[in-house]
Structure 1
Amino acid sequence: MEQILRDTGLEQYTDKLKENDVDDLLFFKLLDGAAGSTEERLFAEIIPSVGHRLKIITAAREGDDNSVNCGQEPDKEEHVEITFVTFNPLFDIKQIILNSDEDKGTANGMNVLEEISRSSLLTSDTKTLIKRRIVNFLVKNYSYHPSKEVKENLAKCVAMQLFQNLNCEQQKNIENMFYRKSEVKEKTKKKNSASGLIEDRLKHLRRKRNVTKPRKPESCLEITKPSEDEEDKKSWLRYTSSPLNQVAEYMAQTFRLRSEELKTNDLLTTLNEWPRLIDTTGMIDLDFSIRYPDKGDMMLHKWTCISNQIWKYAVKTRANIHGEIGISKNVEEWSKDEINSGSLLLLPYLFSKSAYTQDGKKRRRITGAHSPEFFVQFFQRNEDLEEFRLAESVRTQPFVICIGNLKFLDIQQAFVMVERRLIAAESFVKAVDLCFKIFYVLELKFPEECKSVWEFFDCTVFQTNKVRSSSSSVLSLSSQITMDEGLNED
């Protein structure tokens, strides 16, 4: 960094960069920031002059092009001042490991780093710790299906940052040990799968937590490129959240672009690219209404009628709501408000016979006592919810959370959680409505543990016709719902 500033005659920025804790790693990340990115904005704040920024970027790129290749002797007549790595490092491996130490309350990572610094040896225990720490970071920040470029970059960072004392060939061997991308064999023309410690760990976590592969495009047609206007509005929306009417207008105008990107992007990428979907009230409803005109208010119009008939069905079948669900008040004694919200809690119990989860390679049925927690979770205090939110790393699909007391059907606040982000809702019913819409707006699959509950909402409330074959339990309960009868009684 200092060499580039000297070469360009811009040494006056050295102190300012150091004051902002910019080291070589961060410096090159700032230089390579894409247009409209956070890196580009931060770089412009430190170095306001456009001309000076261009000089620095040009000097860095020329230095990269003229860098000495690993294993080659430089021309003796040529004095080489600095050698640049031939990739843009995305990760600070040492910091990732030390941050994990802090989270876990141990010094194991620091001890491993010190051992590597002394000996440059990669033992079995060292490999295990590095693999676990970096893959946990990868899953948290890039999902369970990161791109091959990200995994390749991570492996390079491990080799070059932790094993600087080794030669280039040895570093390459370590890089391949952590990740080797898929290749086509010349003789057989068959494609080898990606391999390495990173890939093996990701596969293990996906199997353990039953994470499915991200969606692929439904057709092989080329995705229409975004227009300049769409890109500008997307960039504006990424960094701006007011005024609300402007946000809503731009969100509606970029719906086509968002729909195209959803065909290939995973959930985490989508939420990072379009933050207003989650943090701005009404944007999920807006996208759902564009996808399904005249369906957006169905829950508001129908639920009172439907909930009353679910309640009657529970009374008729003598549902064991105390033993199975944990609600103390007899179902026959529920008030109108309790019927409105309590009937939502009855659904997982009524569909428990068709609720399954994947336990390794075995498909295990969820009991009536446990199936509701996959649909809605209760916490008595906001502090408990925040602790849960920070620790939750398994579920990628959205689900409902309530602050209150399930035993007495007391619901004080309701939220939807998706990728550890909380969205506040006006009521429990609205939270369920919002959660259902998130599945459809972000094109997510219903979780197996409460799939029948969400299919019931599609079948009886929204009627999108997207669910082609509902389970027999859904069809059975849906057949008990008669809108005319319910409306007349109301």
Structure 2
Amino acid sequence: MNIEAAYDKFYASGITFDRLKYINCDDLALVFPGNENIGYRAELREKIRLWKHNNFPEESVSTLSMNSNIKNWIENQPLDSPATNSTSSEVTSVIDMVKNSKSGQSLLSLYKTKQKLDAGDRKRLLNIIVENFFDLNSKKYKIPRPHEMNKLAEEIVAIFPTENKEIYYISRKDARKTNASGNLYNRFNNLNRKRIRLDSNTSEEQNASERETLCSTNYISFKNKMYFMSGDESDAINLWSETYKYRVNHIRDLKDLTSILEEWPFYKQATGPKFLDFDFQKMYPDENFHLINNWTDMRNQLGQLYKDLLRDKQYVDLFGSVSNECVNDNSKDCILIMLLNAVLKPTSRYVAEIDGKRVTSKTTIRDAMDSCIVHITNINDLEFTYAEKVKKSMHRKEKIQPYLIVVGSDIKSLTEFYVNYGGTLQKFHSFIAALDICFKVFHVLNLEYPRESSLMWYFLQKQIYKITTVYDIKSSALCEFLTLFKS
């Protein structure tokens, strides 16, 4: 767009020279609408910003006619010349970005009333912020440096206190993965259609002196006695308590489920859930009964959220069966847990060989559901189902993690409930009891959640069991869902 065209548009919009200092981003969007003018608007916005900075409030401007001065201003600020980018030196504060935008002013006013932001409000806020990072030289949105991104997220929380910083930005160190994450980080990267590769170095710190002390003759002696015991529970529980500290560190060293069950065979016995419960209560004394005690309230809260968040017709229909009186409570509980994977959608990918070629595929919602809950119609299908799971894990080069098995003619008519960990099958009287032990297996035996359904398990960990560990993988989607759940 040339100078004459810009002049005509300003004139037609009633923008005189003395009014120019009041113009903002929203005004420019009205004067120069359309996606084809995004770069042009950004260039004008930056030049107006610099002009305001250099001329006001140090000196006043007398009322001048449009014909004499607005054209001179445009001519003195060549539209085809490079402009200084505000991100080259110091990042503008979020509060200034918001206050300088009509959309932002509306957002502030709305927040005063609602005291919270919804998904649409967050999107508006992100758009306001990223617009201030348009780089005129590269014609791209410049991605702030990590410390700048972190500062932006902190400022957002300072302006909107009910928001959670991790919704907007999680550093790669906190995320414990290659790339940083969060809505703010993702927005910048998606706009430029590029991905940034970062190195992440994480290490597990171990107390060597404590480990050496725990590997004493007494502990090993107790453990050996348990290994050869026939399963007398009254005698075993005392030895089990005595060997707890040694067992925790020993399991951490083994890092293999088969080896753990061979070294500590009481986990495999019919009374195994009692020993798992014992160890979990030792690890987390105040969290042992959270799921059992709080499930009724959680069931109601999930039901309310699913009404708003579920979009896919097959999952909407599945959720609809929860209100059917003919569906038993265990089936309803199973469906509600499965549907967590439909709102906390999996983000992982897996590599498999197809026709001799390595192919990367995205995990589906069905993959996520199958990784944590396997439905069979007959108990005789157990062996076949396990063989299929082994085949799938070998194909994807992944381990088989603990999972639940539910039995019934269909998912709405469940009658039996099991947990499978390392080939050990434990039966439970209800779905929630099975879910409780399956969750505890991961923590007691120091196992990772399956990648496909990890967000579902992390939701249970943080919302129900109130557990946070140094090994947690942070997720902006999970953080946003937890915030929504609590509100």
TM-score by length of 2: 0.50
Relative contact order, higher structure (CA 8 A, sep 6+): 2
